[in-house]
Chains A and B, each alone.
Chain A
Amino acid sequence: MLETFSVFLGQAEGAAALFTETQLFWAYVIAIGAGFFMAWSIGANDVANAMGTSVGSGALTLRNAIIVAAIFEFLGAFFVGQHVSETIRKGILPLEELEKMTAIDVDTGEAVKIGANLYVYGMMGAILAAATWLLVATYFGLPVSTTHSIVGSVLGFGMVIFWDDLSVIEWTTVGKIVSSWVVSPLLAGGFSCLVFLVIQRLVLYKRDMVGAARKVAPFLIFLVLTIISLVTIYKGLKPLSDEWKELLGLLDLDFKGALLYASVIGLVGAIGSIPLLKRITVEEESPSEDTRSQNPLIGEELARLKTKIKKLTVIADGDVEEKLGSLGGKIEALSTQLEEQEASVKSSDAGKWGTPQMRATERIFVYLQILSACTVAFAHGANDVANAIGPLSGVITVLQKGALSAKSDLSDGWMTLILALGGVGIVIGLVTWGWRVIETIGKKITELTPTRGFSVQFGAAITILVASRAGLPISTTHTLVGAVLGVGFARGIGALNLRVVRDIIISWVMTLPAGAFLAILFFFILKAIFG
């Protein structure tokens, strides 16, 4: 059965020489299994950060957010995911050096090439380490970056192998990656700040906000569609075969051609939006009941009371316990009533704050935020899928070609398959678990109205997508935080907790060593098992 398995997978003869069939089998199982698990947890944890704000601002219902995320995460992963994936596969470790490595075979006394084996173990170790770190961190409620974990793990493995001569590791690439971790939040902050300032000056400062919004929105739609299309199309879209490209007119486009193509897409979107925007009008001024101003406070206090009563009920007995029980029941009823009230207030046009003009303006920007939500999901898929399938693609390349060489690239068919696997993994993670996290975040973040949400997501999406095209694995979570801070800097947000910045900097310092350490651990375990 195993023989059929290898034939089915099109093994080159070289692979059969490197690994026994059992080893091959387990290598595949672990690489695919752990890779899938990583993809699943990206969908379960990471996606929520990108989509949560859309739900919180009311731009998307939970259901629609899941649909949007599922579609665009997959598309991003599938069409743009290979750039970052290649960096993880061969950007950090010097494949030529690995190729040259030999060891003395115990039985025959001959020098045998071991580079390929070491690579496979290392990659498997890296993905297992990253997956373990993810489980541990999630269990303890620590924030974790899938990107940092994978990069740290791969680097750790590299350092173990080349312990005698660390200089052969591609430190320039490592340097580029680490600096991109610092640069991406700053860049996203800059973009988002800029976008929001434009919205501020051109729309929010005006007397006729709605009219201004109707004029500005098409331009913004044009910008978003053009930039995203350009970054995706220009010398990209590898999974698309040449026939498809020719059909769509995408074959061999130079920069000008790509720009033109992208602009057309932008124009179509912008012009198409104008009639849609005309439909949004300012509602009649209705007598405002500002019940919302008290509810957040009441809700919090009630929650604290509930906990206190529970504690007291435990230590009390007899008459006091009974009275406490009924009191607890009343408080429970109160908070349920409050939640229902809040829910109905929320569903009716995101609360009656601000003037009708402002609410109408925000409704216009809902369209824009839906668009930016799509782009951020797309960009996120493009960058993060590599964390799951980068090592996998490396392993499969070796098992496929039966050798390790700098030039060895995965056949296009395999690449497509692996990217699809990653994409599907993310979607499944999203649909089975991630939606819960989106719901939680959406409930907590109601601060970001669509104007802000759009600015944040647009700035983040550009940054993440450009980084993906450059093959740089970055933390989408940190990028989003940077984008939010950028908008906050432009006075756009009610209250931001700056302690998060300190936490991010700490994580930069911590995750690499943690990931590296775990990778080394797993490497030795695997070597012992398979060795």
Chain B
Amino acid sequence: MALFGRSPFKPIQAHMEKSRACIERIKPIINAIIDNEPAEFDRLFKEISDLESEADIIKNDIRSHLPKSIFLPIDRRDLLEVLDIQEELPDTIQDIGIMLTLRPLKLPADMKEPLNNLIDEVATVCNQAADMVQEFDELVETSFGGKEAEKVLAMIEQINADETVADGTERAAAKKLFDLEKEVEVLDVIMWSRVINKLGDLADSAERMANRLRLMIAK
């Protein structure tokens, strides 16, 4: 029957898995710069770029199968917006990669720990968002209500909380960087502070996804 459209939920989960793969590469790629391993950096950068392209293809495919005449159990607009925000993750990670190539960068030893803490926390929030998207299967099955919906709402709350913590860690890392400004080249300070900002943006995107999902579940 032509009645059944192509469900967008599985493709959105596939898209998120591409993002998750990118998230896993943040820590190694930044540390490749810090530890001065250009070969490793190049390899990771290529992987991230490939993943970002693949995610793009999936995203366009989803969009082209969601005309206005498709009826979904949740608001179509909400879903498209989650997809848009989801798209920001691999894009931002690719941006970070590009930034790291613009000029040779050096990082003071004292920054290594705060920066890695930030990376860890941001990765946690993003992974939680990815887990949340993986719950779409179950949400569709239970028609976005009941105990499953409660479980996902709890995940959303957790993401909100963790993003706030990541915010604090971002500020701390930036402050630490400027504390060390006498020891660091000006341009390095600028670049690293931009990298720190972008990392914060990742956590923001994850939180915005979570909030959109909350709208979807509430009837």
Contact = CB atoms under 8 A, between A and B. Distances in A.
Interface of A: 49, 52, 200-201, 204-207, 290, 292-294, 296-297, 353-355, 358, 441, 444-445, 447-449, 481, 484-485, 488, 490-500, 503
A447 B138 CA distance: 13
A207 B147 contact: yes
Nearest to A503: B2
A495 B66 CA distance: 9
A484 B71 CA distance: 12
Interface string B174-192: 0000000000000000000
Given A297-B14, A495-B8, A500-B3, A206 B146 contact: yes
B69 A499 contact: yes
A320 to B, nearest CB: 26
Interface string B51-76: 00000001001000000011111100
A284 B1 CA distance: 35
A296 B61 CA distance: 12
A205 B138 contact: no
Given A205-B142, A205-B147, A358-B142, A498 B74 contact: no
Contact of A204 (B14, B17, B69, B142): B142
Given A205-B145, A297-B14, A494-B73, 12 more contacts: A200-B143, A200-B146, A293-B14, A484-B1, A485-B3, A488-B71, A491-B145, A492-B73, A494-B8, A497-B3, A498-B70, A498-B71
B113 interface: no
A497 B5 CA distance: 5
Interface in B1-42: 1-11, 13-14, 17
Interface in B137-191: 137-138, 140-148
A494 B7 CA distance: 5
B145 A495 contact: no
The 6 A-B pairs with the shortest beta carbon distances in the complex, nearest first, are: A205-B146, A494-B7, A495-B5, A491-B73, A491-B143, A293-B14
A487 B195 CA distance: 48
Interface of B: 1-11, 13-14, 17, 58, 61, 69-74, 134, 137-138, 140-148
A497 B11 contact: no
Contacts of A354: 137-138, 141
A488 B7 CA distance: 12
A262 B117 CA distance: 69
A52 B5 contact: no
A490 B137 contact: no
B4 A445 contact: yes
Contacts of B11: 293, 296-297
Contacts of A481: 1, 3
B13 A293 contact: yes
A493 to B, nearest CB: 7
A307 to B, nearest CB: 17
A481 B146 CA distance: 27
Given A494-B7, A496-B3, A204 B143 contact: yes
B1 A496 contact: no
B4 A496 contact: yes
Nearest to B9: A494
8 contacts: A49-B1, A204-B142, A293-B17, A296-B10, A449-B141, A496-B71, A497-B2, A497-B5
A447 B7 contact: yes
Given A49-B1, A290-B13, A447-B4, A497 B58 contact: no
A460 B14 CA distance: 35
Contacts of A491: 73-74, 143-145
A38 B68 CA distance: 38
B3 to A, nearest CB: 5
A211 to B, nearest CB: 13
B1 A445 contact: yes
Contacts of A447: 4, 7
B14 to A, nearest CB: 4
Contacts of B14: 293-294, 297
A200 B145 contact: yes
A473 B99 CA distance: 70
Given A358-B142, A491-B74, A495-B72, A296 B1 contact: no
A494 B72 contact: yes
A488 B2 contact: no
A33 B82 CA distance: 59
B148 to A, nearest CB: 8
Nearest to A477: B1
Given A206-B147, A293-B11, A297-B61, A495 B142 contact: no
Contacts of B74: 491
A500 B17 CA distance: 33
A495 B71 contact: yes
